[in-house]
Chains A and B, each alone.
Chain A
Amino acid sequence: AQSVAQPEDQVNVAEGNPLTVKCTYSVSGNPYLFWYVQYPNRGLQFLLKYITGDNLVKGSYGFEAEFNKSQTSFHLKKPSALVSDSALYFCAVRDGKGNAGKSTFGDGTTLTVKP
């Protein structure tokens, strides 16, 4: 079985400060990890993914995520937050061994960036 946890329902940061949105996962095989963002009244948009290779993955809008195998984590980060980054963020995981089509999503973390 695979699972993903986003331990924080809400993250608040000031504009210009660094931000981190946390994600931990559990899979039996090699993890495929994803971050998606959802703006109000919109569908989810792909931000970045880790499949293999460099543990630091860079994605859209200046976001990056660090894969940590020993801590089974894949935290989303950005060095300097913008008000426009305020949205709902979802982490997702899929077992790389087959299981195509069955990514498991976390419950989401609401990021609020204040001016």
Chain B
Amino acid sequence: NAGVTQTPKFQVLKTGQSMTLQCAQDMNHNSMYWYRQDPGMGLRLIYYSASEGTTDKGEVPNGYNVSRLNKREFSLRLESAAPSQTSVYFCASSDNTEGTDTQYFGPGTRLTVL
């Protein structure tokens, strides 16, 4: 039982390049989330998916797209990376059928955009 896994762990991009961050969970959770963590700003929600086939914008969705590929996988895409997107990205999942949304987090992806 690996929990929530993320790939890659580290990535360096040049401005304007694109990339996709991958996330998978093996806990049969319905909901999945993408956050970014910046110093002194806590976690900010980028997008979330309440269930397979649905996605919704969070607090900071601009410059990102997501795909809920199936119940296990939720990817985050940067179409044209900008230095402001340098951050640590966390994927999380939760079982929203329990009604409380306790979230389980992946180890993170450290992204640097030059």
**A residues within 8 Å of B by Cβ?**
9, 32, 34, 36, 41-46, 49, 51, 90, 94, 100-103, 105-108
**B residues within 8 Å of A by Cβ?**
4, 31, 33, 35, 40-45, 48, 50, 56, 58, 90, 92, 94, 96, 99-108
Say yes or no: B42 contacts A107, CB within 8 Å.
Answer: yes
Say yes or no: B43 contacts A100, CB within 8 Å.
Answer: no
Say yes or no: A106 contacts B42, CB within 8 Å.
Answer: yes
- What total count of A-B pairs have CB within 8 Å? 60
Q: Majority SS of interface residues in chain A?
A: loop
Say yes or no: B4 contacts A103, CB within 8 Å.
Answer: no
Within the complex, what minimum Cβ distance (angstroms) separates A86 from chain B?
A: 18
B43 contact set on A, CB distance < 8 A: 44, 90, 105
Q: In the complex, A43→B25 CA distance in Å?
A: 14
B90 and chain A: residue at smallest CB distance: A43
**With A101-B33, A101-B56, A107-B40: A46-B101 Cβ-Cβ less than 8 Å:** no
Instruction: Kindly list 8 other residue pairs between chains A and B, CB separation below 8 angstroms, not including A34-B103, A44-B92.
Output: A100-B31, A100-B50, A100-B96, A101-B33, A101-B48, A101-B50, A102-B45, A103-B101
